Every structure is written in C-alpha cells, then in structure tokens.
Structure 1
C-alpha cells in the first residue's frame, strides 16, 4: 500500500467546511463574518507521549483531543484540522483503528480533516487544529485580576496514576486502573465549557503539563500571583486508591496529561460559573484565588503555607 493509497483509504472524507477536500496543496477555509480563527498544533511522539503498546483507536482519539483542548481553552468552536503522520510502515491493522478513534472524536465535534502529510519514519503524530471564536471574545491567559476566583474543571492526577502503574511503580485494582487509563488515553476536551465561559472567565489555559506549571503561565501573562488551597486540590483526583497524601498532592498538582481547563473569574460571578459548568455538563472546583502579589503560594487545610516545590513536566528540563 503506497502513501496516496493510504490517504485515500483511511483519511479521505467528503469536504464540508473545506472548499476543496483532501488532495490539493492547501486547504481553503472561510471563517464566518465577525469571527476570528483560533489555531493550535500539538505533536505526539512514541515513547515520549505514549507507549508503543497503546490501543491505536485510543491514540487516534487522544491525538485530536489534546488539540481540541487548546481550542477549548480559547473558547473556540472547532472547525477543521490537518494531520501529519510519520509511520514506520503502512500497517493496515494499526491504521484502521487509529483512523476510527480519530474520526469518532472529530465527528462528535464536527471538526473536519482538511489536509496534512504522511511519511515513513518513527511513529510521530502532529495535528494542527482550526477553530473560530467571535472577534474580541477569545479566552486568553492574560486577563486574571487580583480578587478573581481560580477554578479547574473535571479531575486531575488520574492520568499520572495510570502512567505510574504502566511503569510498574505500583499496583491498583483492575476497575480503578481502567478508570485511570481512560483519563490517560481518552481525555475529554472541554470544548462546551470553554465556549460557556466566554464573557465570564477572565483568563483560561488547558492543563496539559501539570496544574501548577500551567497556572504559572497565567500568572506571568497576567502579572499577578495566586494562593492555592491544597485541600480542595486533593479532592480533584477521582480514582479511589490508597495513596499517601504527598504523592496524591504531587500527582494532582504536577502530574500532567489531564487536559482540563484552569480558569479565573470574578468572585461575584460564582453563580454564573456554576451555571456555565452545569450547561456544559462538566464539574468545576474552586481551588484558590488570584492575588496582586507575584508568586504562587500553596496552603494546607489549616491555612499554613506548604513550602514544598512541585515541578511540572518540561520536555527539555
């Protein structure tokens, strides 16, 4: 099976938003009047972002999900994406489930594949996603203000639990492992929540490298600081397994691969935030507040400062 046969068989779909369909040198997209394009790229590399034995259907889902999570953090509606795929070989038994997982999520969000590239080499998946957002309404990292509440969606730390089990660092019951693996392999991009937060959240980012590390990006962009309630954070981990509190806190604050939304909103808009979360079908938890003094401060349930440092994921650290 050649390169173009591979594209035709597994990745060519009827054109909807794309004026041309897959096959020309460029895709042509026309955003609606009064809208801005939101564009983001992510790369998944075998051995770095996923294990060689991962289910290819789950990998197809995750490859697109991590990009849709960026659109969610911007408050954008998904439109289309491109796929650049490096493969050791054209393995039909791998390609069929990969494409199935990819397109299942794409169709759920009406996000169309409009182009890309394939080549032979180590397994590497790069997706660029396009979305649209009303002009001037995109959620940014730079709008957090002193006095704002700090929220996170969904759960944190469960993906790290699955990773540690796969590394042989611990053992957990099968049902707990499956729930944790679903969080690692099948993250849910919070697209509906991101759109519901437009005009409500003052700043937003998706949590991919760890809550504290990603929060620091918001604090830097907004020139503010934050106080975090460690007790509220401990409750964010869904999997009911026995872990010492220090490990649980580390995985929640710096575990990575969570793909939830971390956002800020004015304290007097708590009811609207709760309503937006209900409308999006997503749980949100208030975990702290934004402060004028620079820096990130972590407090325990008794109000005492936690001195421990937590390092989030960095590819080149």
Structure 2
C-alpha cells in the first residue's frame, strides 16, 4: 500500500465544516465571523510519550486528546485538525485501530481532519488543532490575581503517573487497578466543555500535561503572582490513596499526563464555577489560593510545606 492509498483508505472523509479538507495542498477553514483562531500543536514519539504496547485505538484517541486539551485551556471551541504521521511500515491493523480512536474523539467534539502528511520513519504523531474563540474571551495564563481561588478539574490526579510507574516496574497494582490507571494514562478526556463554560468566569487557565507544580508555575510566572495549595484538597482516586504518602505527592504534584484544567477565579465566582462544572458534567475542586508573594507553596494538613524538590516533566532535563 502506497502513501496516497493509505491516506485515502484510513484518513479521508467528506468535509463537514471546513471549506476544503484532505486532498489539496492546503485546507481551508472558515471561523465564524468575528471569531479569533486558536491553534496548538503536539508531537508524540514512541518511547517518549507512549509505550509500544499501547492499543492503537487508545493511541489515536490520545494523539488528538492532548491537542483538544490545549483548546480547552484556552476556552476555544474545536474546528479541525491536521495529522502528520511517521510510520516504520504500513500496518493495516494498526492504522484501522488508530483511525477508529482518532475519529471517535474527533466526532465527539465536531472537529474534523482537514489535512496533513505521512512518511516512513520511527513512529511519530504530530497533530495541529484549530479552534475559535470570541475576541477578549480566551482563557490565558496571565490573568491570575492575588486572592483568587485555585481550582482543578477531575477526581483522579496522579493516576496516569501511577500507571507509568507500574509500566516502568517501580510500583505494582493488581489487574483491575492497573487497567483503571492505564486508561487514565492512555485515554485522557479533554475538558473542552468545561473550558467553554469557564469563559468569563476563570481569570486564568492551563491544562495539566507535565504536572501540577510545573504547569501551575507557568500561570504564576505569566501572571506575576504566587500561590498556596492544600495537599489534602487535591483530588485523587482510592487507588492512589492506597499508595505511600511520598508516592501520592509525587504523582499528584509532578506526575503529568493528567490533562485536567487548573484555573483561577475570584472567590465571589465560586458558585458560578460549580455551576459551570455541573453544566460541563465535570467535577472540580478548590485546591488553594493565589498569593501576591511569588512562588508556589504546597501545605499539608498541619500547615507544613511538602513540595520542596518536586518538579514537573521537562523534555530536556527529565530522563
């Protein structure tokens, strides 16, 4: 099977929203009048971002999910995406599963594939996603203010990292618990509906791809503020709570791959936050406050700082 037959068989679909999709040198997108275009790219490499044993359907899902998560953090509605795919060889079984997972999530968010490229090489996936947001309504990293509450979505921070540690052989879980955490690692759910619902409520937002400590640190740096988090308020699953305290702390604070939203909002907006979360069918938890003093502090139930030495994933400093 050649390159163009591969594209035609697995990745060509009729356009629905794009003015022109797969098959020409460029796709044509038509955002609604007056809307701004939101664009984000992510590159996934085998051995760096996913293990070779991941199910192709889950890999297709995650490849798009991590990009949709960026749109969610911006409060942008998805429009379309491009896919650049490097394959060591043409494997119809892999491609069928990959495309199935990819398009199931794309259809759920009305986000269509509009172009891309394929080549032979080590397995690598690069998606660029396009969304739209009204001018002045995008959620940014730079809007947090002293006195704001800090919130996070989801109910199982750290499960993805726990699954990774099991895959690495440093932790052990029984079969059902491992499958639950592995699903969190390989099939994250982008919080697009919550991001849209938080427009006009949240003062800043970011998605948690590299770990809470580091990702929230980007918000604090961009906003010129600090924050204090309450360790006991961080939502985690019963599976993670069964782990030693130091493992829990490392997973929830610096684990990465959660793809939840961390955001700030004024205390007076707390009811609006919970209403937005309910409308988006997404749990949220207040986990701390924004401070005028720079730096990020994480306190245990006795008021002692516990995050010293923890840092999030960095592609060029983390092994």
Q: TM-score, normalised by structure 2?
A: 0.97
TM-superposed CA distance for 1:72, in Å, is 0.2
Paired residues of 1:147 and 1:267 also in contact (CA < 8 A): yes
Q: How does 1:191-202 map to 2 (within 5 A)?
A: 191-202=192-203
Paired residues of 1:165 and 1:171 also in contact (CA < 8 A): yes
Paired residues of 1:149 and 1:267 also in contact (CA < 8 A): yes
TM-superposed CA distance for 1:300, in Å, is 1.0
TM-superposed CA distance for 1:239, in Å, is 2.5
- How far apart are the structure 2 equivalents of 1:309 and 1:227? 16
Please state if 1:44 is matched with 2:44.
Answer: yes
TM-superposed CA distance for 1:306, in Å, is 2.8
Q: Mind listing any 5+ residue stretches in structure 1 that lack a counterpart?
A: none
Please state if 1:90 is matched with 2:90.
Answer: yes
- How far apart are the structure 2 equivalents of 1:42 and 1:3? 22
* 3-state SS in 2 of match to 1:192: helix
TM-superposed CA distance for 1:307, in Å, is 5.9
> 2:299 is matched with which residue?
299
Map Cα deviations across residues 126-160 of structure 1 (whole Å, 9 max, x no partner). 00000011111000000000000000000210001
Q: Per the alignment, do residues 65 and 170 of structure 1 end up closer, same or farther by CA in structure 2, a change over 3 Å counting?
A: same
Paired residues of 2:81 and 2:129 also in contact (CA < 8 A): yes
Q: Per the alignment, do residues 240 and 293 of structure 1 end up closer, same or farther by CA in structure 2, a change over 3 Å counting?
A: closer
Paired residues of 1:237 and 1:252 also in contact (CA < 8 A): no
TM-superposed CA distance for 1:236, in Å, is 2.5
> 1:190 is matched with which residue?
191
- How far apart are the structure 1 equivalents of 2:72 and 2:238? 22
Q: Per the alignment, do residues 302 and 241 of structure 1 end up closer, same or farther by CA in structure 2, a change over 3 Å counting?
A: closer
Q: Per the alignment, do residues 10 and 146 of structure 1 end up closer, same or farther by CA in structure 2, a change over 3 Å counting?
A: same
* 3-state SS in 2 of match to 1:201: coil
- How far apart are the structure 2 equivalents of 1:25 and 1:299? 54
Map Cα deviations across residues 45-104 of structure 1 (whole Å, 9 max, x no partner). 000000011100000000000000000000011010000000000110110100000000
> 2:227 is matched with which residue?
226
Please state if 1:118 is matched with 2:103.
Answer: no
* 3-state SS in 2 of match to 1:239: helix
Paired residues of 1:74 and 1:138 also in contact (CA < 8 A): yes
Map Cα deviations across residues 207-264 of structure 1 (whole Å, 9 max, x no partner). 000001001100000000001111112x434535621111101100000000000000
TM-superposed CA distance for 1:302, in Å, is 1.4
- How far apart are the structure 2 equivalents of 1:140 and 1:273? 17
> 1:204 is matched with which residue?
205
Q: How many residues are treated as equivalent by the alignment?
A: 316
> 1:165 is matched with which residue?
166
* 3-state SS in 2 of match to 1:82: strand
- How far apart are the structure 2 equivalents of 1:217 and 1:156? 18
Map Cα deviations across residues 263-302 of structure 1 (whole Å, 9 max, x no partner). 0000111111011101100010111000001111111101
